[in-house]
Amino acid sequence: MSEKIPSSEITPESVYFNRRNFIKAGVFAGSALATAGTYRFFNPPPPPEVVTAPIGNVSESRSFSSTETPDTFETITTYNNYYEFSTSKNGPARAAEKFVTRPWTIEVDGLVGKPRVFDIEELLRLDQEERVYRFRCVEAWSMVVPWTGFPLKKLLDLVEPLNTAKYVAFHTYYNGRTTSPEAKLPPGPNGMQSSFSAGIDLPYLEGLRMDEAMHPLTLMATGIYGKLMPNQNGAPIRLVVPWKYGFKSIKSVVKISLTDVEPPTTWNLAASDEYGFYSNVNPDVTHPRWSQAQERRLRDSRMQPTVLFNGYGEEVAGLYAGMDLKKYF
């Protein structure tokens, strides 16, 4: 090091350390922002509240309604299982924003005297009732929802079921990527994901026994809180069967078929040891991986005991008289 560096070119010590500190501060701030950003990416802020039009012809009659306080509109519209859109709870609210539900038709066929296609506007002109129902998810959480809609029986009566009809099969709208032969449904712009991403075969299929379908508690819901059904809750029309686990209450229905054989159902096809055809709420039949004895009530985050048939035993226990509910779970 014999070469002379003029002293004027040597960075003064204070400047050198200042620069180092400056870089350190930059690294610090940059990494903190990146970490916070990563966290926010995986945990996005809640979606904005969805706005839908009010339903005009809702009757005041509240037959079968629970007297429990309903959960807020926000809870009901931001905590959804709708695997066609997202497998996270708050994902469907955003992912379903572009879901187009007009025009919409429901085809009703199979073992009926008068098969026909219903337009959603026609179904919305039927008298709608408000029903406040308890809703118990198979994942052991529950909420209370003020649905608006009409009994499924009203719709089925219009097509005149034949005596040979023993079951009712339901299909959800689907136009994502699928290998299922069932998917012969109209395409349209929407945010639906592939069957692969959802982890279940789509379109989503559900089914009820004829007497369950004709039961006065069984509802075709067209809205919540007196407003048209938000997309993430199964717009424009969905099934609600309050004494069964939530996944039985199939969303965005496009097809209903009456049959004489027990129809295949999506979760049963995915894991038959975990999800039965009946899937009645039953604290004594444990899910192979978790207990069904208790449920977390979303309103106050408290655990409470789960009740057989979700508390609707008085109305529906007769449907299962003599049946072994542990075998037919």
Partner 1 sequence: MNDIRFYKILIAVNALIPLTLLAYDGWRAQLGANPIEFFLRTTGVLTLSFLIVTLAVTPLRKMFGWNSLIKFRRMLGLFAFFYATLHLLTYSVFDRSLSLSAIVGDVAQRPFIAIGMAALLMLIPLAVTSTNGWVKRLGGKKWVRLHKLTYVAAILGVIHFWMIVKSDIFYPALFGVVLAGLLAYRLMPKPAREQGLKSQVGR
Contact positions vs partner 1 (CB under 8 A): 24, 27-28, 31-32, 35-36, 39-40, 42-43, 45-46, 71, 74-75, 78-79, 83, 87-90, 139, 141, 143, 197-200, 270, 286, 289-291, 296, 298, 301, 303
Cα–Cα distance for residue pair 33/35, rounded to 1 Å: 5
Nearer to partner 1, 89 or 209 (CB): 89
Q: Whole-number minimum distance, CB 141 to partner 1, in Å?
A: 6
**Is-contact 310 242, C-beta < 8 A?**
yes
Nearer to partner 1, 87 or 105 (CB): 87
Cα–Cα distance for residue pair 234/76, rounded to 1 Å: 12
Nearer to partner 1, 75 or 259 (CB): 75
Q: Whole-number minimum distance, CB 13 to partner 1, in Å?
A: 15
Q: Whole-number minimum distance, CB 59 to partner 1, in Å?
A: 29
Q: Whole-number minimum distance, CB 71 to partner 1, in Å?
A: 8
**Is-contact 97 52, C-beta < 8 A?**
no
Token pair, residue 275, equals 């999800």
Q: Which of 277, 219, 226 is nearest to 249 (CA)?
A: 219
Nearer to partner 1, 143 or 165 (CB): 143
Token pair, residue 96, equals 């379903």
Q: Whole-number minimum distance, CB 31 to partner 1, in Å?
A: 6
Nearer to partner 1, 64 or 141 (CB): 141
Q: Whole-number minimum distance, CB 75 to partner 1, in Å?
A: 4
Q: Whole-number minimum distance, CB 266 to partner 1, in Å?
A: 10
Nearer to partner 1, 29 or 162 (CB): 29
**Is-contact 213 108, C-beta < 8 A?**
no
Nearer to partner 1, 1 or 42 (CB): 42
Q: Whole-number minimum distance, CB 83 to partner 1, in Å?
A: 7
Nearer to partner 1, 38 or 57 (CB): 38
